[in-house]
Amino acid sequence: MDNITDTLLPLRIFVVAALPVQFNLNTCLLSVGVTTIAVLCIFSSFFGASLLDKHGNSIPPGPRGLPIVGSFPFLTQYPELTLDRWAKRFGDLYSVWLGNQLFVIVSSPAIVKDLIVTNGAVFSSRKEMFIKSQTVFAGRGITATPYNDRWRKHRRIATGWLNQRAVDSYTPILDREATVLVKDMYRQSKAGTIPINPQPHAGRASLNNMLSIVFGFRTDSIYHPLLGQALRLSREFMNVTGPVSNLVDFLPWMQSLPTTMRTRGRNLHRDLLDTYGGFIKDIEQRMQIGATVPDCLARTMLEAKGQENLGHIDMSILASAFMIGGVETTAAIMQWFSALIPAHPEVQKKAHEELDRVVGRDRLPAVEDEKNLPYCHAIIKEVERCHNPFWLGTPHVASQDFTYNNQFIPKDTVVVLNTWTMHHDPSRHLSPDDFNPDRYMGDSLTSADSANLTDPYQRDHWMFGAGRRICPGMIVAEREIWLTISRMLWAFTMESLPGEPIDLTEYDGLSGRSPVPFRVNLLPRHAKVAEVLRIEEVPA
């Protein structure tokens, strides 16, 4: 195919897509179709790249979508379920158009490995989305940065703070927050006599861990105003910047218009700088007057800012990426755990038996106990398989043309890991809709180690992404989740309330997901709970 035909192909795709619309509607609406085609002619240049490689291989098949907006309208609610339906129809590698942007959706571990891991040099970039990269992160932010030197620098700083040795050094922080979580739940539930909503407790445990690591301080109560503010910022970030959160990213002509989405993006940028940039300024001032500043990421960045050429916005956005990436995520797993366990008393009973046998009732489970508590370890993996907070992860981008098994993936294509489909593949996970931790018995690996397995079908799950952009916070996240969940299991029997079933299908959030608010009864399991937690008295 010659170049002219190449350039016109997207237009043809559009015209084909537009035909059923015109056919079904009355002649009055025909003019809408004609206008739409005219508009598309103007924007057809945005499709830009050729959709065939030099051997004539075309892009993977996929749903046709609607004129102009492509498949966007089908992905605004429960996108993971729509992607799963399409995977069944179009296969493990298929194309989706959102506005002028081509996405390929990858639904099999083998293809994830071939593309994202083995060909990591090609598939490790990010699309500079208008809202996320340009507006909210102002061209910075490790999560959104293309595969370039700036990303390498930020990734090096992040890994320095999140590697095994670093995580070992601040395990006392994670340990303290996990105990505080259980104590606060015990107190707020008045020793199990009134039901509570676990959400603020999970949120504060995660927030305090990240605040301590990034800024060297913590909040002292679930009513601290920073908790609401931090959770609001994370949620707003997930809602405006998710892979299919807004059409403005995919329709460039909308980007100069004063849309609500653009305003939200700008406000979020301002709020992140005010909040997290504000903490950095405070720390810098304290350092300038020689006050003591605890060891934390912000101090490290300030000390290295000359050498690393880090400006205030760089530091604020990197800190924001930690606060956004590290709070809502781990908190969501704790919440899904608290929502799932009351519905599975048999799972809870087995975990309690294991904890009594291995840890006993005189102390809380610790980091070292994990290897001897395979069932509790398996519960966590199963929660993560069933309720990955990010079904669509953070998409990668092809930085050059690539042909895979005779299917063409043009440069700048966005590549999405369809983790819902991979987590529910019955050939990998028998009866995938069941919550069944037994499926992970015998898998003693951490998720960080599991991600390095040669056989991608043996990997536990895909919650942390894959390849060179894989979540650098895995080690801290896993340790934090282990300490909080194993201690909740140790301390409480968790029960739902009569007449108040916990909804396990609905969720809050467009990109990051957590359960809709619910309450549970947390009954202390034995008389030693208060003693071990050193709770003198519970307020009446």
Binding-site members for heme are 471
Which of 162, 173, 248, 315 is in the footprint of ligand HEM by CB under 6 A? 162
Instruction: Point out the annotated binding site.
Output: 471
471 binds ligand HEM (CB under 6 A): yes
Which residue has tokens 């620098």?
A: 153
Answer for the pair 218, 343: CB distance below 8 angstroms, yes or no.
Answer: no
174 binds ligand HEM (CB under 6 A): no
Span of 38-46, 173-181, 440-448, 460-468 interacting with ligand HEM by CB under 6 A: 460-468
CA 68 vs CA 18, 47, 249, 258, 310: distances in Å: 9, 11, 13, 20, 40
In 3D space, the residue among 75, 77, 71, 88 whose CA is nearest the CA of residue 17 turns out to be 71
Across 158-246, the runs of DSSP E, i.e. the strands, are none
Span of 32-40, 182-190, 433-441, 470-478 interacting with ligand HEM by CB under 6 A: 470-478
Which of 200, 216, 342, 465 is in the footprint of ligand HEM by CB under 6 A? 465
Which residue has tokens 């018995």?
A: 441
Which of 390, 391, 420, 440 is in the footprint of ligand HEM by CB under 6 A? 390
470 binds ligand HEM (CB under 6 A): yes
Which residue has tokens 């493990």?
A: 92
Give whichever of 44 and 478 is closer to ligand HEM, judged by the CB atom. Answer: 478
Angle ∠(274,272,221) on CA atoms, nearest 5: 85
User: Cα-Cα-Cα-Cα dihedral of 267, 273, 278, 280, to 10°?
Assistant: 160
Q: CB 105 → ligand HEM: shortest distance, Å?
A: 14
Q: CB 502 → ligand HEM: shortest distance, Å?
A: 20
Which of 62, 200, 473, 509 is in the footprint of ligand HEM by CB under 6 A? 473
Give whichever of 249 and 480 is closer to ligand HEM, judged by the CB atom. Answer: 480
- Give Cα 176 to chain centroid, integer Å: 25
Instruction: Give the Cα separation of 173 and 168 in Å (integer).
Output: 10
* Both tokens assigned to 485: 């969940």
186 binds ligand HEM (CB under 6 A): no
Q: CB 440 → ligand HEM: shortest distance, Å?
A: 16
Instruction: Give the Cα separation of 323 and 300 in Å (integer).
Output: 16
Which of 233, 273, 364, 477 is in the footprint of ligand HEM by CB under 6 A? 477
* Both tokens assigned to 89: 């129809």
* Interface of this chain with ligand HEM, residues 295 to 324, rule: CB under 6 A: 321-322
Span of 164-172, 364-372, 451-459, 463-471 interacting with ligand HEM by CB under 6 A: 463-471
Q: What is the 3-state secondary structure (H, E, C) of 73-89?
A: HHHCCCHHHHHHHHHHH
167 binds ligand HEM (CB under 6 A): no
Which of 325, 410, 456, 509 is in the footprint of ligand HEM by CB under 6 A? 325
Q: CB 460 → ligand HEM: shortest distance, Å?
A: 13
Which of 136, 230, 448, 476 is in the footprint of ligand HEM by CB under 6 A? 476
Residue 48, H or E segment: none
Residues in contact with ligand HEM, total (CB under 6 A)? 28
Q: What is the 3-state secondary structure (H, E, C) of 401-457?
A: CEEECCEEECCCCEEEECHHHHHCCCCCCCCCCCCCHHHHCCCCCCHHHHCCCCCHH
329 binds ligand HEM (CB under 6 A): yes
Instruction: Give the Cα separation of 342 and 520 in Å (integer).
Output: 8
DSSP string, 205-229: HHHHHHHHHHHS---SSTT-HHHHH
Q: CB 474 → ligand HEM: shortest distance, Å?
A: 7
Give whichever of 94 and 336 is closer to ligand HEM, judged by the CB atom. Answer: 336
Instruction: Give the Cα separation of 215 and 203 in Å (integer).
Output: 17
Give whichever of 385 and 396 is closer to ligand HEM, judged by the CB atom. Answer: 396
Beta strands at 101-106 and 414-417: parallel, antiparallel or unpaired: parallel
* Interface of this chain with ligand HEM, residues 263 to 282, rule: CB under 6 A: none
Contacts with ligand HEM, residue ranges (CB under 6 A)? 142-143, 155, 158, 162, 321-322, 325-326, 329-330, 333, 389-390, 393-394, 396, 463-466, 469-473, 476-477
